[in-house]
Structures are given as structure tokens and as C-alpha cells.
Chains A and B, each alone.
Chain A
Amino acid sequence: MAELLEVKNLSVSFETAQGEIQAVRDVSFSLKSGEVLAIIGESGCGKSVLCKSIMKLLCNKARIKSGSITVDGVDITRYRERDMQKLRGRLFSMVFQDPMTALNPTMTVGSQIAEAVRVHHPGMSRDAVYQRVIALMELVGIERPDERYGLYPYHFSGGMRQRSVMAIALASAPKILFADEPTTSLDVTIQAQILDLLRDIQRKLGTATILVSHDLGVVARIADRIAVMYAGKIVEIGTAEEIYYDPRHPYTWGLMMALPAYAKAGEPLYTIPGMPPNLLDPPKGDAFACRNAYALAIDYEEMPPMFKVSDTHYAATWLLDERAPKVTPPLRGGRNV
């Protein structure tokens, strides 16, 4: 399968009064068509910025410092707003974190979906647009779409709004769907429904999906591959199997152990000690070193490169260097869950 999206050594920074915030640092990954890649990490590790920088939805204070973004064989790194407009919606689109604010409160849901249909099909007849909107609403599981076409977002529950946002995102049949924490602001039962919907749609339409989340449990349902991000860098990437059953980076271990599934009765839930570093002035060496019980001396000095574990599995930790002492991971993979 050809690579649909290829990001190479991407760095994104924000100019602020305090200085430069290095939100994404030297990130490389690729996405095949029809694949689901989950990006996992704590708040503020650069997951959302990474997605938005690919779609160029960041504010004008953000700058792509280096690296390249190639979509469908075309390098779009230097694309300007006008060129991006033609790609957005058709090549990639996005589902946002908070469905409460993502829809325009003063426009009916139907007309907002219709707008998305019409953007890339300006000549479409009124009737055809309506039929397409109804079909989209059915696709995302909004019942009785013809009645709900003319309702406003405030008539909808959070889950229904998120479904509407998905209908908008899917309106022009994009090849890549970015789902930026699509379930974070929904309650748990709705979360599961939306995730199932994402998976169904992904299977039905074959849309490649990048699912951003801070919850390893959430992505387990649908991800083919998982990338773990920390302090603006991808620290481990591999297939879902490899990440769940054979994690190699101490940060991934920490995330796994923090899952309630690993908690023992009567003991408090595990948390990774310390705080993520300030990206205004990221530390030398491995940014995770100071929170890492397995940190080696070199971690404080030099940034670890991506070590290859298998053809699909890479991790950035000096523990994988052949000179490193052997450590036993605190958990024996996910097999015992």
C-alpha cells in the first residue's frame, strides 16, 4: 500500500512574547490509506498541534520550522491558504474536541452540513445537496434526518452534535480524517458510541483516520497503529499489538500502568511522577528523563534516536541501545489484562 500521508522531521513553533514554544519537535510518521493511526499523549504534548499543522489550521503565530508534509505524493509544506482551501474537506478534514462549540449556533445543522457538501460541488442542485445531507446524517447515525435538518445545534445533545460534526467532516469524502479527541467532552456511554461509529465509517468508507487521544483504553478499540507522543516528539510508534503487548519506552510503560485495568484493589491508581517539561525551553537530552525511573546518565545529555524494534515498531529510548543495561518492564505487556 502506498503512503497516503508522510510527515518527515516536522517541527512547529509558536512565537510568543515569552519566546518560542516548540510544540512539535522533529516528528516523522506515515499513514497508509484506510489505516487508523492513534496519537497518544498527555495534554499539551503537541498532538492537536501536529494535526492542525498538517491541515494548516493553526493561528498565524505558529510556524512550520522545518520538515515536510507529503499528502498523496504532493509536498504541501509550503502551500498557502488558497491552495489549502482546495484540499481541506476533500483530501482531509477534522472532527474537533468540543462539539458544543464546533457548530455555528445560529445556523441550522442541516444547512451547515449542506455548506460542506456544496464547498467542493458548487454546481450541485438544491435537491441533490439535500439528498446528500440526509444520506450523511443517516451515515453518522442521526435518526429521522429530514425532521432534524432544520434544527439548530442547541436542539442537539453532545453526542448528536459530534455526529453532525462528523457528517460535516465526511461531506466531501476525504481520504484522511483527523479526529482530535472526539470523545473527550462526551460522557462515557456516548464515547463508546462515537468510537464505534468512527470505526464503522472507517470500515465502510475506507477513510484513513488519525485519532488523537490521551486515553490508551479509548484507542484500543479502533487503532491499527499507535504513536506515543511526549513533549512534542513521537517517542514510540508501532502497531497496536506491539504497543499493547510489547511496549519499549518507559513513558509508554507509565501510560499503561496508569490505566485503571492495571490498578490493584486497595492501592491508589498509578500516576507518572512529575510534570511534562516546559516547551518554551525543552531540556537537553531525553525530555522524559527526569520523570523516568529507568533513566540512564546519557538520557540527560543526548536525545535518544529512534531505535528499531521491528519493521513497524520504533522507540526513542537509550534502553534499546545494545550497551544499555537490561531492564525488565514493570508490566509484562498487556497479555495479563
Chain B
Amino acid sequence: MIRREFLYYGKKLLVFAASILVLSIVVFYVARLAPGDPLVSYYSDRVEKMSPEERAWAEEKLGLSDPIHVQYVRWLSGALHGDFGISFKYKADVLEVIRGRLVNTLLLGGTGVILIFGLALLLGILCAWFEDRWLDRIICKAGTIISCIPEFWLSLVAILIFAVWLRVLPSSGAYSAGKSHDIADRIIHLILPMSIVVVEHLWYYAYMIRNKILEEVRADYVLLAKSKGMSRRKIMFRHCLRNVMPSYLSIMAISVPHILGGTYIVETVFSYPGIGALSYESARYQDYHLLMLLCILTGAVVILCNLLAQVINERIDPRIRANEAAEMLEVKQIG
């Protein structure tokens, strides 16, 4: 048993490592082959006045003169030792640059995912309960419309309304100057970007869970549960939700990267100092080492979430555990 578990998770780990390796190669090559001058992010305007010799010297110093595969091997061996290089723009270790910002993104994205997870479930149940009645119709229609609105546009409109016209909420940043430890201030800054992230993604998942529940409500076992005399509420929560949960959990695991992508856009619009805004910046200025680290971090989250979804699907749902349990039963009977 233990050996099988070990093999199971070992296999997943191998898939994870291989995916990250492939990702790093692709990103490394694409970034270097993309047009643009990485020296600009290090030397800014001074690059224009540099002589060819000075340029060559600068490229040599930043390690940009070697062929790409040599650069990659150098980067990889450094990365495996925990050295991800320095950021050209910030002229500091990329880990240092990211550290402060990671918390901001986790705050925005993490809370966003949890809120979406809970609210979508609630809305989905509500819609399924009132199937085809006015409440269900309004929620579904409004949701379709809202989730079709591009995130950046919605953000701009929200800034216009709440920051410019009403002046009740700040339009950008994660905290007011000098108040980085003031929790209330941070929360006020989070409201707008968070609302955009939640409002944009909520409907899709609510709609999905609504349809999943409706599928279950039409199943035969609901008829049997009804004929035993169970109430609709109990059937919904004890039977239907139980069957929806595994697929919902795996949907949510896959949704994390989706929502994360949304967070990046929202961060950029709101100049929210998270890793989303940072990755946009690093891609724009050819800040290679920073870009690599951010891509690998994001990629790792995406791949991890997908693997998690797989594990949930394969392990939590007893229907899928069937074979294993059957084998156990045989062993028990023989013994």
C-alpha cells in the first residue's frame, strides 16, 4: 500500500519537475529571442550614448554575450543552487525584489480565490434551487454579461466611478505612503482590485456549479431519496452536493491559474505592487532573470494546481477509488 502511494506521488512529482524544466527552456529562449535591448533596463538612457566597445563590455559583464544555450546552462546551474541572478532594473537579487511583492499578490489572489470559491458555491446552489425562476434567470443573465466585459475595462470604469467621481476608494497601490503595516489601509486599497477579480470570475464558476447540481438533481437516486420521504433541502445538501464536491474541488484547483491570470491584469491596471505588475514590467524591459523567476513561479502554481485537481479527482471520489477498494475487499476475504 505504502509503496503504491509512494509511486503515485513520485510519478506526479516527476511530471512536475519535467514540466518546469521544459517551461524554463521555452521561456528562456523566447525571452532572449524577443526584440528589445536588455541593457536599457540596466543602464536606462545612457545606453544610447554607449560606444560599441562599451556595449560589448556591458553585455559581457551581464553575461549576455554568450550563445543562448551557454547562458541557459549557467542560469540553470545557478538556479539549482538557489541563485536566480540579479534583476537588471532593480540591481538586486531577484528573490529580494520579489519577496515584498509576493505577499501582496497572495493577499489579492488568495483571498480572491477563497471568495470566489465560497460565493460561487452559494450562488450555484441558489440558482439550482430556483431553477428557471426569475432569480436564477437574472443571476445567469447578469453573470454572462459581466463575465464578457474585459477585466481591464471594468477596472477602469470602477476607478472612474469609485476613485474619480465618488472619491471613496483609492485608485492604485497597496497602501498609502508610510502606512505599509496599517491593516485597515491595506484593506481599503484591496477593495477595488479584489472586487474586480471576484466579479469577473465568480459567474463562470457559479454557472458551472449550478449545472453540475442540476445534473445531479435529475439523477435517479434523487427520486429514491424523495420516495423515502426526505425533504428537498436534505436531498440537496446530503446527496447532490456530496456528488458535486469532488468535481467542484478539481474545477477550483484548475481555476486558480485562471484567476491568477486575472489578478495579473488587475494588478497592472491598479498599479498594485504585486508580482503581476512586476512580471509585466520585467517582460517589457527584458529584465531576463526577474522574468524567468516570475514565469517559473507562476508556472509552478499552474502545474501544481492541475496536479492537485488530478489527485482530487482520482483520490476523493469514491467511484474512482473503486478498484482499489475492491482489491482490499478481496484481500480481506481471502484472509
Q: State whether the Cβ of B55 lies closer than 8 Å to any Cβ in chain A.
A: no
Looking at the complex, which of A82-90, A213-221, A289-297 is the stretch in contact with chain B?
Answer: A82-90
CB-defined contacts of A103 to chain B, threshold 8 Å: 221, 224
Looking at the complex, which of B104-112, B226-234, B252-260 is the stretch in contact with chain A?
Answer: B226-234
The answer to whether B228 and A152 touch across the interface, beta carbons within 8 angstroms, is no
Interface size on A, residues (CB 8 A): 33
Q: State whether the Cβ of A94 lies closer than 8 Å to any Cβ in chain B.
A: yes
Q: State whether the Cβ of B164 lies closer than 8 Å to any Cβ in chain A.
A: no
Q: State whether the Cβ of B220 lies closer than 8 Å to any Cβ in chain A.
A: yes
CB-defined contacts of B220 to chain A, threshold 8 Å: 96, 98, 101-102
The answer to whether A104 and B228 touch across the interface, beta carbons within 8 angstroms, is no
Name the one of B231, B242, B322, B329 contacting A104, with C-beta atoms under 8 angstroms.
Answer: B242
Bound-state Cα–Cα, A87 to B228, Å: 9
Q: Which chain B residue lies CB-closest to A120? A: B229
- Encode A202-235 as 1/0 by CB contact (under 8 A) with B: 0000000000000000000000000000000000
Q: State whether the Cβ of A105 lies closer than 8 Å to any Cβ in chain B.
A: yes
Bound-state Cα–Cα, A98 to B230, Å: 20
CB-defined contacts of B246 to chain A, threshold 8 Å: 106
Q: State whether the Cβ of B3 lies closer than 8 Å to any Cβ in chain A.
A: no
CB-defined contacts of B223 to chain A, threshold 8 Å: 57, 94, 96, 102
Q: State whether the Cβ of A308 lies closer than 8 Å to any Cβ in chain B.
A: no
Q: State whether the Cβ of B243 lies closer than 8 Å to any Cβ in chain A.
A: yes
Name the one of B232, B238, B325 contacting A152, with C-beta atoms under 8 angstroms.
Answer: B325
| B313 nearest CB across to chain A (Å) | 13
| A273 nearest CB across to chain B (Å) | 34
Q: Which chain A residue lies CB-closest to B222? A: A104
- Encode A160-187 as 1/0 by CB contact (under 8 A) with B: 0000010011011000000000000000
Name the one of B225, B230, B319, B329 contacting A105, with C-beta atoms under 8 angstroms.
Answer: B319
| B131 nearest CB across to chain A (Å) | 9
Bound-state Cα–Cα, A165 to B225, Å: 10
Q: State whether the Cβ of B186 lies closer than 8 Å to any Cβ in chain A.
A: no
Q: State whether the Cβ of B138 lies closer than 8 Å to any Cβ in chain A.
A: no
Given contacts A96-B223, A104-B221, A104-B243, contact A88 B317 (CB under 8 A): no
The answer to whether A152 and B242 touch across the interface, beta carbons within 8 angstroms, is no
CB-defined contacts of A115 to chain B, threshold 8 Å: 225, 228, 230, 238
Name the one of B232, B242, B326, B329 contacting A106, with C-beta atoms under 8 angstroms.
Answer: B242
Q: State whether the Cβ of B219 lies closer than 8 Å to any Cβ in chain A.
A: yes
| B277 nearest CB across to chain A (Å) | 43
The answer to whether B329 and A107 touch across the interface, beta carbons within 8 angstroms, is no
The answer to whether A116 and B228 touch across the interface, beta carbons within 8 angstroms, is yes
Interface-central residue, A94, A98, A104, A165, by most chain B CB under 10 Å: A104
Bound-state Cα–Cα, A151 to B325, Å: 9
Given contacts A86-B229, A89-B229, contact A165 B224 (CB under 8 A): yes
The answer to whether B242 and A119 touch across the interface, beta carbons within 8 angstroms, is no
The answer to whether B325 and A168 touch across the interface, beta carbons within 8 angstroms, is no
Name the one of A87, A101, A155 contacting B326, with C-beta atoms under 8 angstroms.
Answer: A155
The answer to whether B325 and A155 touch across the interface, beta carbons within 8 angstroms, is yes
Bound-state Cα–Cα, A35 to B174, Å: 76
| B132 nearest CB across to chain A (Å) | 9
Q: State whether the Cβ of A127 lies closer than 8 Å to any Cβ in chain B.
A: no
Q: State whether the Cβ of B318 lies closer than 8 Å to any Cβ in chain A.
A: yes
CB-defined contacts of A165 to chain B, threshold 8 Å: 224
Q: Which of A112-147 contact B (CB under 8 A)?
A: 115-116, 119-120
Bound-state Cα–Cα, A304 to B241, Å: 50
Q: State whether the Cβ of B12 lies closer than 8 Å to any Cβ in chain A.
A: no
Q: State whether the Cβ of B101 lies closer than 8 Å to any Cβ in chain A.
A: no
Q: State whether the Cβ of A93 lies closer than 8 Å to any Cβ in chain B.
A: yes
Q: State whether the Cβ of A262 lies closer than 8 Å to any Cβ in chain B.
A: no
CB-defined contacts of A102 to chain B, threshold 8 Å: 220-221, 223-224
| B133 nearest CB across to chain A (Å) | 11
| A316 nearest CB across to chain B (Å) | 30
Bound-state Cα–Cα, A6 to B71, Å: 88
Q: State whether the Cβ of A287 lies closer than 8 Å to any Cβ in chain B.
A: no
| A140 nearest CB across to chain B (Å) | 15
Bound-state Cα–Cα, A103 to B227, Å: 12
Bound-state Cα–Cα, A49 to B312, Å: 39
Q: State whether the Cβ of A29 lies closer than 8 Å to any Cβ in chain B.
A: no
Given contacts A152-B325, A155-B325, contact A89 B318 (CB under 8 A): no
Name the one of A81, A85, A96 contacting B224, with C-beta atoms under 8 angstroms.
Answer: A96
Name the one of A93, A98, A104, A107 contacting B227, with C-beta atoms under 8 angstroms.
Answer: A93
CB-defined contacts of A55 to chain B, threshold 8 Å: 227
The answer to whether A169 and B227 touch across the interface, beta carbons within 8 angstroms, is yes
The answer to whether A57 and B228 touch across the interface, beta carbons within 8 angstroms, is no
- Encode A33-70 as 1/0 by CB contact (under 8 A) with B: 00000000000000000000001010000000000000
Known: A104-B225, A115-B228. 15 other contacts (CB 8 A): A57-B226, A57-B227, A85-B229, A86-B229, A88-B227, A89-B229, A93-B229, A102-B220, A104-B221, A151-B329, A152-B318, A155-B322, A168-B228, A171-B228, A172-B229
List residues of B whose CB falls within 8 A of some A CB.
Answer: 219-221, 223-232, 238-239, 242-243, 246, 317-319, 322, 325-326, 329
List residues of A whose CB falls within 8 A of some B CB.
Answer: 55, 57, 81, 85-90, 93-94, 96, 98, 101-107, 115-116, 119-120, 151-152, 154-155, 165, 168-169, 171-172
List, sorted by A's number, 15 A–B pairs whose CB atoms are closer than 8 Å: A81-B232, A85-B229, A85-B230, A94-B223, A96-B220, A101-B221, A104-B225, A104-B239, A105-B318, A106-B243, A106-B318, A106-B319, A107-B242, A120-B229, A152-B319
